[in-house]
Amino acid sequence: MSARPLDGRVAIVTGASEGLGRAEALALAGAGARVVMNARSERVHDVADEIRRAGGDAVTVVGDVGDQSTAERLVDCAVEAFGGLDILVNNAGIIRDRMVFNMSPEEWDAVLRVNLRGTFLTTRAATDHWRRHSKESGAPAYARIVNTSSEAYATGPPGAANYAASKAGVVALTLSTARGCGSFGVRANAICPRARTEMTTDVFGDAPEAGEDPLSVENVTPLVVYLASPDADPITGRVLVAYGDRIDVMSAPTVESSLRSASRWSQDELHDVLGGHFVRQAATGQVVVG
């Protein structure tokens, strides 16, 4: 694989002013991509300056990725500044942690707006661009989407119902995009990064004082670059957990047990068969939620 596998490619990175998004933008630029960077914070300009000082190309679009106009402006900016779009990295995300019985509708909406709606809007704008490009050229587009989910989608942290729901939605959106847009070149995957950032301080705590930090964002960025590269063409519709020196490939939900009734289920039979199944499971220590 080339040291600069993304030479000539154009990438969008959302949430790029700090943390993982900043590291992803720097890594993509280091691999040769020209980068359109988005964040709500003006600090994104500093990251673009850092890329340009290193000899790369970067432009910025400040705005709320939950606004359709921002998502469309990102794609338009990629085309206007660099002549096209090849890669979309959806990283923007927020948390508003609270137990579900104390969570306000506004806290729910805010998280779903950025984490899921924002990912949808940029995906919509990018896939529309790629579909039109493919129809005009008569060939599949070079199109890579890397969405940011979280293991919270599978574990359901007790104080983060909004975040967990948004990240489950990102996984479903990714799989549907991979299946629905693959015919014109789109490769869509989701990553679940275990990375120490300002947003995850309460989860992972402070970095170790000595030695390499296994939860450094730099341990996640090589995977993002690879998924954006030509070599990753066979990989689509997958969910990958990345941290330290590990990549865990997640499988789709599977059937744990299949319970049958002789006819329509009665309440007594449900109690005996279904209830008995979970009683036996609890007795053997296999309870997942409790």
Cα–Cα distance measured from residue 83 to residue 33, given in angstroms and rounded to the nearest whole number: 13
Is residue 167 part of the annotated active site? The answer reads yes
State the catalytic residue, choosing from 163, 166, 229, 243. 163
Residue count of the chain: 290
Cα–Cα distance between 154 and 164 in angstroms, integer?
Answer: 8
Alpha helices (runs of H) in the chain, residue ranges in sequence order: 19-30, 44-53, 68-82, 105-112, 118-137, 152-155, 161-181, 201-204, 221-227, 267-269, 276-283
Residues 6+ apart with CB under 8 A from 97: 159, 160, 163, 202
Question: What are all long-range contacts of 256-265, with beta carbons under 8 Å and residues at least 24 apart?
Answer: none
Contact 9, 85 (CB under 8 A): no
Of the residues 150, 153, 229, 243, only one is catalytic, namely 150
Q: Is 150 a catalytic residue?
A: yes
Q: What angle do CA 260, 261, 263 make, to 5 degrees?
A: 140
Catalytic choice (17, 134, 167, 243): 167
To which residue do tokens 């275990």 refer?
194
Q: What b-and-e string marks burial along 66-87, b requiring 16 or more CB atoms within 10 Å of the CB?
A: beeebbbbbbbbbeebbebbbb
> What phi, psi does 101 have (nearest 5°)?
-75, -15
Q: Looking at the annotation, which residues are catalytic?
A: 150, 163, 167
